[in-house]
Chains A and B, each alone.
Chain A
Amino acid sequence: MQVKKASARSNLRTQFLPGWDARVAVLAVVVLVALLPVLLDSPFWMNVLVTAGAYSGAAIGLNLLTGYTGQVSLGHAAFLTIGGYAAGYFGASQGWPLVLWLGMGALCGAIVGGLLGPFALRVKGDYLVVVSLALLFITSHVVENWDSVTGGHDGISVSKAPLAIGPIDFGNLRLFGMEFSREEGLFYLAWLLVGIFAVIARNIVRSRPGRALQAIRDRDTAAEVLGVSSARYKIAAFVLSSSMAATAGGVIAVAQRFLTPNEPLAELFISIQFVAIIVVGGVATIYGSVVGAVLLVALPEVIKEYTHWFDFQVPFFDRPLVSSSGLDRGLFNPGSFSNLLFGLLLVGFLILWPRGIAGWMQSLRTLLRRKT
């Protein structure tokens, strides 16, 4: 009898979400996201939310690689770029339909990841850090020089990339008699992808391959003596994470309408931003990736919009922290101040709350459970 009960309990854990509270939360978020374009009447913030959606998708990918598999990559931005240029070339230049150019972006990301992965992941150790750094520099070089595809220094326009799946055109969306702007359409596209990625990632991490990834992260030798090939799983995680990032990169590209090559260092910064996103949101959680992405994409915009909040005199230096009148009068300009915050958040969370915001939520849950 007791055996029956225990097994029923653990079979329950094969369900998509663990508890009723998680299910309610997810439902609420889905409804909120669906209604946001109707409720929010600001093209600027809509655009920010499109980026936040794309970043969430890419962050889910990075969390699979870093949070679940324990491999740090500095190359995530390179995959966004690869996906972006795939959108520009296959979508805008070749005129392929949305599903095809987006899929092609995912495929390009997967191929590059699959080619590069073995260099770093065949052996134990943190080699991916260095190899992904190589990828950043090589990608930037290729983008700047492969003129016929990327437009070289002049860049490439992505605005003509088709945005329709059958009758649904995200560039000019009509639903229930309402008309949506291009931003709003892209918002739905981006967050639809977030939903798909989240479901895929969640399904993976709760079943055999996902357990294998986490086993490798925690104890790679023990995983191997159980028959988990750590090289193969690490490479697979890298490929999956790369293709998610590349897909998200395509969405960002169409939202930006135009792509120009980034300095490798700017790309490095974006990659580090992704690391900060998953750490702040919560490593090895899916929803943490989304929470982190939304917060950290919004952060620089908030600082720019509300500079006056930070416009106070810093003692000793006798200058305002961030000046809202003259940009270089402040100790920091808004851009570098938000960059600094990224760094501080990253260190701060890693040391004080290594499980991120998701960790806070977990503590809150146990606290509430204990009370009832």
Chain B
Amino acid sequence: MSLRQRLAIIGSQFKKNADQPVELSSSRQLSSEQQKSLPQKSLPQTTVTYAVWILGALAAVLLVVSLADGGDGREKFLQLLVGGIALGSIYALLSFGFVIVYKATGVFNLAQGGFVLLGTYLAYQFYVDWGWIFGLALAATVIVMAAVGAGIERVVMRKMLTKPTFTAIMVTLAILIVLEQITRSIWNSPGLVLAAPWGTGRIQPGGVTIRYLDFWTVGFTFVLLGAFFLFFRYSRLGLGMRATAFDREVASAQGVRVGLSFALSWAIAAAVATVAGVLLTSRSGGALTPAVGYVALRAFPAMILGGLDSTGGAVAGGVIIGVAEVMVQGYVDVDWLGESFETVVPYLVMLPILLWRPHGLFGTKAVERV
């Protein structure tokens, strides 16, 4: 049996909403009536449902603002939408990184903020300080950071696999601090600038300004995420990672190198964090500040919103959170809410979700095995 076939079996046995019900080893069959009554492919269905809802809501708002405020209202709305999607795709990258690590190891990885920080400053080092061309500098940074991520997993987090998750989470906190202090001490002069080469150009279709930066942000994000989705779907390593996420023991019994999967998940998290950090810095005009690392923490709500075990959900959650934040910034002007209220919006969006659907919009509710 090829690896892919084996993984398909592992997958359909352990994934809650498998595409087709596969016989268990004990040749249990479903009656045809039962098969009909069961929700088939319910995960894609929810995804589609929510996507329709979200698009519908946006369209409705668009209609309302254009009716209420005419062309100006529509322009403002679309302008904010563009900004929101651009910010949201950065959140999407970050929450994708969270989900990858969570699925593989069951741990909320707070060190992600440290990866954003170190990655961004490293990109500065290659691009500005050493004067490499941007593409090369970015690629080099991503590779170095992926190695850093995998290294940390191998050396530190691997020891935490057998420990309770709350212990592992505390370790990721420690890594966050160590990475932050190391970065601060290496690049401790203020006023560093990482001006990515997409410059300040913009286009203005229909009165809506779209910066080149926004194109690059969204483009980069989706090419990168698309590549990862293909990787998980078709490559041997990617399938191994999925199998590990379904069930560590079974995957390992089936010959998947689970250790490699864990290391890869950390490598991917560190790599996407780096790209997100560079894009974030560009959004704030290129000025480097250590605070960039903590924006990553604003992507946590995106992960909760989308679903802890759903990479697609993570991306959707990121975009929703980004749009919500920018919309609030653009429209909500209520005195008693205080200044820069938008910075807490991601968290406020997250809280009701936790009560209503703690496993997130696109996540699956795990049935505990005892």
Residues of A within 8 A of B (CB): 66, 70-72, 74, 118-120, 122-127, 129-131, 133-134, 137-138, 141-142, 144-146, 217, 221, 264-265, 268-269, 272, 275-276, 279, 328, 331-333, 336-337, 339-340, 342-344, 346-347, 350-351, 354
Tell me if B169 counts as interface (CB < 8 A to partner A). Answer: yes
Does A272 contact B355, Cβ atoms closer than 8 Å?
Answer: no
Does B344 contact A126, Cβ atoms closer than 8 Å?
Answer: no
Residue interface bits B280-320, CB-to-A below 8 A is 1, else 0: 00000000000100100100110110001000000000000
Nearest A residue (CB) for B171: A350
Does A336 contact B185, Cβ atoms closer than 8 Å?
Answer: yes
The smallest C-beta distance from A63 to any residue of chain B, in angstroms, reads 13
Does A336 contact B181, Cβ atoms closer than 8 Å?
Answer: yes
Q: A126-B108, A129-B110, A130-B301 are in contact. Are A351 and B166 (CB under 8 A)?
A: no
In the bound complex, CA of A139 to CA of B92 (Å): 25
Residue interface bits B331-358, CB-to-A below 8 A is 1, else 0: 0000001111101100110110011001
In the bound complex, CA of A66 to CA of B338 (Å): 33
The smallest C-beta distance from A114 to any residue of chain B, in angstroms, reads 15
Nearest B residue (CB) for A330: B185
Other 18 A-B pairs with CB < 8 A, given A146-B338, A272-B176, A331-B185: A70-B164, A71-B166, A125-B308, A126-B107, A126-B108, A129-B108, A131-B351, A141-B344, A221-B370, A268-B294, A276-B174, A332-B181, A342-B177, A343-B175, A343-B176, A343-B178, A347-B156, A351-B156
The smallest C-beta distance from B304 to any residue of chain A, in angstroms, reads 6
The smallest C-beta distance from A224 to any residue of chain B, in angstroms, reads 10
Does A141 contact B170, Cβ atoms closer than 8 Å?
Answer: no
Nearest A residue (CB) for B98: A130
Nearest A residue (CB) for B368: A221
In the bound complex, CA of A279 to CA of B169 (Å): 12
Q: A137-B344, A328-B188, A347-B171 are in contact. Are A130 and B304 (CB under 8 A)?
A: yes
* Residues of A close to B175: CB separation below 8 A: 343, 347
Q: A134-B351, A354-B163 are in contact. Are A343 and B174 (CB under 8 A)?
A: yes
Residue interface bits B108-150, CB-to-A below 8 A is 1, else 0: 1010000000000000000000000000000000000000000
* Residues of B close to A142: CB separation below 8 A: 338
Most A-side CB within 10 Å, residue of B185, B340, B368: B185
List 30 A-B residue pairs with CB atoms under 8 Å apart, sorted by A's residue number: A71-B166, A74-B110, A74-B173, A119-B351, A130-B303, A130-B350, A133-B297, A133-B300, A134-B344, A134-B351, A137-B347, A138-B348, A141-B344, A144-B339, A145-B338, A221-B368, A265-B291, A265-B294, A272-B176, A272-B177, A275-B170, A276-B174, A279-B170, A340-B178, A340-B181, A340-B182, A347-B171, A347-B178, A351-B156, A354-B167
The smallest C-beta distance from B357 to any residue of chain A, in angstroms, reads 10
Q: A347-B156, A351-B156 are in contact. Are A339 and B169 (CB under 8 A)?
A: no
The smallest C-beta distance from B308 to any residue of chain A, in angstroms, reads 8
Does A127 contact B354, Cβ atoms closer than 8 Å?
Answer: yes
Q: Which 3 A-B pairs have the closest CB atoms?
A: A145-B338, A343-B177, A134-B347
Does A130 contact B166, Cβ atoms closer than 8 Å?
Answer: no
In the bound complex, CA of A338 to CA of B324 (Å): 38
Which residues in chain B, 190-235, are within 8 Å of chain A measured between CB atoms?
none
Most A-side CB within 10 Å, residue of B164, B304, B358: B358
The smallest C-beta distance from B305 to any residue of chain A, in angstroms, reads 11
The smallest C-beta distance from B112 to any residue of chain A, in angstroms, reads 12
Tell me if B42 counts as interface (CB < 8 A to partner A). Answer: no
Does A119 contact B178, Cβ atoms closer than 8 Å?
Answer: no
* Residues of B close to A70: CB separation below 8 A: 164, 166
Does A127 contact B358, Cβ atoms closer than 8 Å?
Answer: yes
In the bound complex, CA of A265 to CA of B181 (Å): 14
Q: A130-B108, A272-B177 are in contact. Are A332 and B185 (CB under 8 A)?
A: yes
Does A66 contact B182, Cβ atoms closer than 8 Å?
Answer: no
In the bound complex, CA of A70 to CA of B108 (Å): 14
The smallest C-beta distance from B165 to any residue of chain A, in angstroms, reads 6
Does B355 contact A122, Cβ atoms closer than 8 Å?
Answer: yes
Q: A137-B343, A275-B173, A343-B175 are in contact. Are A351 and B159 (CB under 8 A)?
A: yes
In the bound complex, CA of A120 to CA of B300 (Å): 14
* Residues of A close to B160: CB separation below 8 A: 350-351
Does B177 contact A339, Cβ atoms closer than 8 Å?
Answer: yes
- Selected from B165, B174, B303, the residue in CB contact (under 8 A) with A350 is B174
In the bound complex, CA of A118 to CA of B354 (Å): 9
Does A144 contact B338, Cβ atoms closer than 8 Å?
Answer: yes
Does A126 contact B170, Cβ atoms closer than 8 Å?
Answer: no
Nearest A residue (CB) for B335: A145
Does A336 contact B184, Cβ atoms closer than 8 Å?
Answer: yes
In the bound complex, CA of A59 to CA of B150 (Å): 33
Nearest B residue (CB) for A145: B338
Does B181 contact A343, Cβ atoms closer than 8 Å?
Answer: yes
In the bound complex, CA of A276 to CA of B351 (Å): 27
In the bound complex, CA of A134 to CA of B166 (Å): 18
In the bound complex, CA of A336 to CA of B350 (Å): 33
* Residues of B close to A145: CB separation below 8 A: 337-339
The smallest C-beta distance from A177 to any residue of chain B, in angstroms, reads 48
In the bound complex, CA of A71 to CA of B166 (Å): 7
* Residues of B close to A354: CB separation below 8 A: 163, 167
Nearest B residue (CB) for A351: B159
* Residues of B close to A71: CB separation below 8 A: 166
Most B-side CB within 10 Å, residue of A122, A123, A133, A331: A133
In the bound complex, CA of A217 to CA of B181 (Å): 32
Nearest A residue (CB) for B341: A141
